[in-house]
Amino acid sequence: MGSLFRSETMCLAQLFLQSGTAYECLSALGERGLVQFRDLNQNVSSFQRKFVGEVKRCEELERILAYLVQEIHRAGLPLPEGESSPPAPPLKQVLEMQEQLQKLEVELREVTKNKEKLRKNLLELIEYTHMLRVTKTFVRRNVEFEPTYEECPPHLDSESLLDYSCMQRLGAKLGFISGLINQGKVEAFEKMLWRVCKGYTIVTYAELDEALEDPETGEVIKWYVFLISFWGEQIGHKVKKICDCYHCHIYPYPNTAEERREIQEGLHTRIQDLHTVLHKTEDYLRQVLCKAAESVYTRVIQVKKMKAIYHMLNMCSFDVTNKCLIAEVWCPEADLQGLRRALEDGSVRRPGQGTAAGAPGQSQELGKARHVLERRGHLGTLP
């Protein structure tokens, strides 16, 4: 071990690593933190180096793990910390870990997508229920005789309303468009309808007592229920385009009171069913996230270490046979024995691979540095 002072006598060592054990040797060196690598490929682009594919694989795993952590935090689940400093995963486990994470991501995205779709459908049905309840007070129909309509907007007099029977004799067809609109867009929406439709519409509003969540954005806002009565198909097309422009939520308007009751009963049943299915989906999603949270902390550290190893391997150069990696490292002279032990530990992890580090043709130098290239005394910082 070095002294308590910052400066140490440093040496530049050259390592020869067999390609089969280079990953394990660098993993052992990284756990000890004894050396600093020199880049022997400074003139090579980062996209043209030997292990760029492995680095991209690590970045893909980091992306998946970041997504898992985000979903765990969004669900309000604790993220237990596992082993404080787990070692880099062995090469034989990397593909298995990658398959597990990719499978977990696909499953989690599918369950989350289904949950959001169910939630959106539920919010739309709730909006439809409120719309039917409020618009029931707008128009009263007498189904026993020829349909007549009595409009009761709070801000219009009955004398200003166009006579339905007169418009019917002229061949115009009375239609209705109903839905919900954001509270802040009501005034501009009404002005646009008046200017474009030239008075051939009657708009009735009522504010909802409670704020509802927007199915599109998830924001909780105040809504107005509106009912637009119009004459003629061309006017109806214009009204629909204006509603789309102001992002109104349009829902079918029932023609009779009996149809209204049937729709309300069907909505009540569907809402109950969606609540049940959504609750089960959320429980399953929580189980998946709880299982993922048990190992995600360890996986994050392992992937970071694996990525760092491949970055260091990209700083090494190959010999003419492409079977041996050559590395140059700065190391405190007092820690040379620790460097050799780390290389020996790395070679032991992959038995039967021959020399893990050493000069070519010197099998007795297992797990040792080739030689010291240069010594520099009491360096404050490493170049």
Question: Which tens digits make up the pLDDT trace of 324-375?
Answer: 889 999 988 888 888 888 888 887 765 444 334 333 333 333 334 444 554 5
Residue 355's pLDDT is: 39
- The whole-model pTM stands at 0.76
**Segment 2-19, tens digit of pLDDT:** 555 567 788 888 888 888
pLDDT at residue number 2: 52
- pLDDT for 335 equals 86
Q: Where are the alpha helices (DSSP H) in the chain?
A: 22-32, 52-74, 91-135, 164-169, 186-197, 233-245, 257-313, 336-349
Residue 311 vs residues 26, 37, 50, 304, 383: alpha-carbon distances, Å: 10, 10, 10, 11, 18
1-40+315-383: CATH number: 3.30.70
Domain boundaries, the chain: 1-40+315-383, 144-255
Q: Do domains 1-40+315-383 and 144-255 have the same CATH topology?
A: yes
CATH number of this structure's domain 144-255? 3.30.70
Q: Picking from 70-79, 160-169, 252-261, 345-354, which range would have the lowest pLDDT averaged per residue? A: 160-169
Amino acid 172: pLDDT: 57
Read off the pLDDT of each residue in 213-236 and give the average, rounded to a whole number: 88
Average pLDDT along the chain? 81
Phi-psi category of residue 193: left, alpha or beta, with phi > 0 → left and psi -120 to 50 → alpha: alpha
- What's the pLDDT at 139? 59
